[in-house]
A and B are shown apart, each in its own frame.
Chain A
């Protein structure tokens, strides 16, 4: 026996007092109040705390501005330019998602110049990228009357790994009668998720989620310049050879379906993916004691996808490999039970 076994019982008498007396309600230290800034958005005067972005100031007035690369939980990277607004006195349009309010700003969120700019951004994206699984982007296209067809039919697809190995400095002349595209084969190199960069609009959200804003794994980054720019692992190695830890937090933030659960990808390929028939239920992960919120997407009584709510204080929308993908054990007994039932019926 270990030596401690000889010691007397540990419980001090005060532990019997139950419950422990109630103390004051704990409070977080109050953040010092920011001075209010007054500005005008679409002719309406408003006042918001210093440090607020134009996007949030506008939302406070009920004015919605489209966003693609912006997400509350990520640092703004200002790349998609779809949130741009017109600021009096500014030569260029400014991104609402990151531009902070200043006293006396005169902002227009829906001027002809803004609408034209948004329309062109959406057309450039949709003429070069497959947006078939990006419902949000499609809705913006309707709203801004984007016509990507006017740039011509889609150009030829790149064959396997050609875009991954694009060398800086060298470019073929653009195909003149067609719209150049990023179409390329889907990357399927593991059982958990796929990467279909034909659908990538380079919003950087996956890079941010993999990096300092959430996962801090840094498995992916933007490689290349100009039209060759693409999301890549180090030296474009397959995921199993990369630093990826399969948290799937990149899938959680991808707005276009370029990053997709293998389960969803396979079901779409088989024609069995049916969002109308799916339910979504929030629960708590069954693994460690952190208590991560899961949103289970269920179709035909099976889990087909696992996300986490952005507003969860515990996860901020992020999960680990076990929470995101470790649910196959739920399906197996069902499959076995179904098979047993089929066998039983067959033998009857």
Chain B
């Protein structure tokens, strides 16, 4: 946000804040140790508001649960903003000094009255009002979110709506106040920071910015494409059009993790060549022409990862990989050599030092300092710089240092797939505590918590459908159908159903999900599918 892709605060600030809005995140189950910090905050007196269609285990810790309808988050945020303005709780000192586009924003939220918002979000107007007031009046306040915000067709707009709230109230760039996306995988943050994005070189340096690009070209002695590349969703579209015919996949399982799985597998099979570099023989690797077995990055290799508070941390080789298996660096350097390029010795620290010479944000982070401190937070400009606990303090300087932060007017647009008589239930997806994504890593330990995949329904819906708990039913969307046993879950309101992607070999949840994607981020709308649940008549088993 404001030019930097990273959470603005540190975990320790959550412990010392006054109001926490956990938005589209069940951190209790999906980021359990982050939630420890949240609970410290709660025990220290912070008020916790959980905004989630499900009354999750996180929501059970909340002072207030806002059971927002799936995909209505922008209406909720805009209505909160309108209420904050109306009640005279906006921070005009901050707005005048540090922001732009305020006029356009005020205009854009005018139609989001509490009454309208109650109608489209399902959250009572009084609760929206209470949340808005608590957030705006707090001395310190945090908004944290996860995929409940970003796995939508309008992911970026959802995030912008949240950022607008922070700008309106001045809850960013100060100790204890901030905006924090919780990253879902151990190095999502670091991968982006290192330039594994279609438009960025390492250190958030835009590839289309010529002077920045030239800096890299000189160091690497090659010329770089001057235009940004494709995001994952665009890659699949390019495969469909025949423009993309070769794919090199590292540490991903798109055959099972992509929405609309039928289509994803078909497109992967249609490639001229599919290369997969992974530590396990996952479903995508099964489709590959070439599989490069890689050492585990977290315990069989040296390197760094970066967490959700921008902390660069060391991963270390604790054990040897199986015979014949190399670490990612070695494989990539060998592939480069086969192609006639020389990337130098595959030594993690040497490559890190090259990065430090190119990315000002990482310049001060020597391995020695990272190890001594247990991790440093970017930006860290030189070896005497401590790293930054929170970002955007510059917005509080007078005059503001650097560009002001713009408000971004965004409109509520309901989920792409509407409910109708044929598909009357809203399916949303997420993780459970003991499992992870497509289960490639978690399937092999024996968790006493694991119950296998189910279609979770509100007990009322179960009764209406005439199905019993444990009964296997057919779940259909406009793209596919799967069979799964029913589990009743009273954290779901009638009309809402829940599944996970953890057991794709038993229940291929992503055969149901829709690949309607956010054009700005390329994220698919995993969180909002229209489904129907059918009882399977005895003796009739036709799909």
Contact = CB atoms under 8 A, between A and B. Distances in A.
Nearest to B436: A287
Given A26-B388, A281-B318, A321 B444 contact: no
Contact of B11 (A25, A29, A215, A314): A314
A284 B303 CA distance: 10
A107 to B, nearest CB: 31
A90 interface: no
Nearest to A9: B520
A214 B40 CA distance: 8
Residues of B contacting A: mostly: loop
Interface string A17-30: 11111111111110
B235 interface: no
Contact of B209 (A16, A20, A25, A239): A16
Contacts of B187: 289
Contacts of A2: 153-154, 413, 416, 516-519, 525
Contacts of A23: 392-395, 397, 401-402
A contact patch SS: loop
A18 B209 contact: yes
Contacts of B209: 16, 18
A19 B5 CA distance: 12
Nearest to B306: A291
A329 B444 contact: yes
A321 B433 contact: yes
Contact of A25 (B43, B319, B388, B517): B388
Contacts of A111: none
Contact of B390 (A7, A19, A26, A212): A26
Interface stretch (A32-40, A80-88, A155-163, A333-341): A333-341
B444 A332 contact: yes
Interface in B38-96: 39, 43, 61
B36 A286 contact: no
Interface string B389-427: 111111101000111001000000100100000000000
A320 interface: yes
Interface in B294-316: 296-299, 305-309, 311, 313-316
B385 interface: yes
A313 B319 CA distance: 25
Contacts of B121: none
B184 interface: yes
Nearest to B211: A18
Contacts of B442: 322, 326, 329
Interface residues of B, number: 100
A301 B186 CA distance: 23
A293 B375 CA distance: 10
A24 to B, nearest CB: 5
A127 interface: no
B360 interface: yes
Given A322-B442, A326-B436, A314 B296 contact: no
Nearest to A239: B448
A318 B11 CA distance: 14
A97 interface: no
A169 interface: no
Contacts of B311: 291, 314
A166 B444 CA distance: 39
Nearest to B298: A286
Interface in A193-241: 212, 214-216, 239-240
Given A326-B447, A330-B296, 5 more contacts: A24-B397, A215-B36, A289-B307, A296-B318, A329-B443
7 contacts: A2-B519, A23-B395, A192-B448, A240-B448, A284-B315, A322-B436, A333-B279
Interface of B: 2-4, 11-12, 30-34, 36, 39, 43, 61, 153-154, 156-157, 175, 182-189, 199, 203-206, 208-209, 212, 279-280, 296-299, 305-309, 311, 313-320, 322-323, 360-361, 374-375, 379, 381, 385-386, 388-395, 397, 401-403, 406, 413, 416, 433-436, 440-449, 516-520, 525
A-B pairs, top 10 by smallest CB distance, nearest first, are A291-B307, A289-B183, A23-B394, A21-B402, A281-B318, A320-B32, A191-B446, A286-B298, A328-B445, A2-B153
